[in-house]
Structure 1
Amino acid sequence: MKSRVDGLLYVGPVTVFLFFVLFVPLAYVVYTSFWIAGGPSLSAYQRLLGSELFLRTLWSTFEISITASVASLLLGYPIAMHLAKQTPRKRAIYMVLVLVPFWTSILVKSYAFTILLGRDGLVNKLLSAAFHTQVQLPMLFNRFGVMVGMTNYLIPFIVFPVLASLLSIDKSLYRASEIMGAKPPRIFFRITLPLSLPGVAAATLSTTVMSMGFFVIPALLGGRKDAMMSNLVDFYTRETMDWNIASAIGVILLAIVTLAAMAADQFQRRDSKKRVMA
């Protein structure tokens, strides 16, 4: 009984805080999406489903999120493999370097990328100097700029789950495969990659869910065709002042993210059950 009371004393204040800071605003957003002057209505959702702008933005949100997640995986997996081969001391130092992007505000980094990727930016100037001709590659205010900004932010979220899976692989499997004469490519595709798939799946799903709510990066580095759902919410709240539609978009985005998070959690539970049974 005493332990239960102590638990309530610890958890109670946090629960009350989350209720007023998180759940009350969410409930108000849901209420706003269904309520109009005449009473409850689904008109906001009906208008959205018939809006070409919303459907196009929803598609671009999925496209950008999945592409950014896959690009981050392609860049982060080799980093995780390199970290897994290091000694614990060196690995700790390299892991700090992986975390460096978190030390800078995403807004500051986005402005930094505008300087690096602009037509007269540092990257184009270096290319011009290397090829002895003027180079002005369009790397800003398009999909490429959005991918650069998002992968820079998402790579650490790929590295650590994949690294955890790689470190959990039994080293005797590598020694046995080498004794049997297996070459490094065969070892990777038959041992490393299959056994690291749980970390890969968890990292990919989590980064995809996370990137669906990005606002600053597509707003500063992307063009009109690269707008995401959060940018559309900003448009309806600041430009058209249609809070009913904006709330409906927020509810739809929340539902999509919640379903994706539930799928990721279910996948992790199935994987953990398989490991226990094994």
Structure 2
Amino acid sequence: MKKIRKAVFPVAGLGTRFLPATKAIPKEMLPVVDKPVIQYVVDEAREAGIEHFIFVTGRNKAVIEDHFDVQVELYDTLAQRGKDDQLAHLQRLQPQAGQTSFTRQQVPLGLGHAVWCARELVGDEPFALLLPDMIMQSAKGCTSEMVELYERTGKNVIAVQECDPAEAHKYGIVAMGPSVANGFEVTGMVEKPAPGTAPSNYFINGRYILQPQIFDLLSRQEKGAGGEIQLTDAMLKLMETQPFFAHPYRGRTFDCGSPEGFIEANVAYALSNPAMHDRVLGLIESFLDKPARS
């Protein structure tokens, strides 16, 4: 069994739901309290033992590469001003030389195509895939828990969460098979099932561990919903020859690809910070007590 050493982050999206804020700033660089969204996702991967971080970028995404690069002038200034705590914090977040790679998705053909663009950097080994819009809040990272299930099965693993059954038609839903370790075998997947037809209320939440055979399937995958190459379609093909397992994630997931989810994440992380909790809670309560005038 090969260790999960590499993670792919598809960060080529335009972030149209955040315009005009994302006209010049990638949506992945929007801050949740004191860190950009992409930093939370990379930190989750690092906690899981990931050694190589692969970013599939698009136009106007160079600032993401700059964020994960060494900023000599900034580091020198912090050192000269005696801001040792801030300097040490930045250095802890800094990937080591050779740990980051960047490749370009030249045409926006969907998530499946973005994953395929990373094929040469991943090579012939299993890899983690983390959607950068989704950030997870829990004592132990979602990807770390998935790696534990992978180490028990040696196969494909996807993270899932429970939703209200009445809302299942909004998500990609999995069908449940026998229990295995801290998860269960996946016997099927359906994207946005018709109301009342979902095989379960477990939806795919944006974290995957995939075998490298997915790349060959993606290279031959026809366009699906929205005229794009869909990752789910390729996973269904791979399921014909390889088992998939699901890890039910029990933490909180914030969809930072939507303004509502982004605000929710900021509130949740601010309230979880002891230095900010009381102040932020007081502000929220004051807004509720004194609603803004129309």
Higher helix share: 1
Higher strand share: 2
**TM superposition score category, shorter chain reference:** under 0.3
TM-score (norm 2): 0.21
Please identify the structure whose Cα radius of gyration is greater: 1
User: Does 1 or 2 have the higher relative contact order (CA < 8 Å, sep 6+)?
Assistant: 1
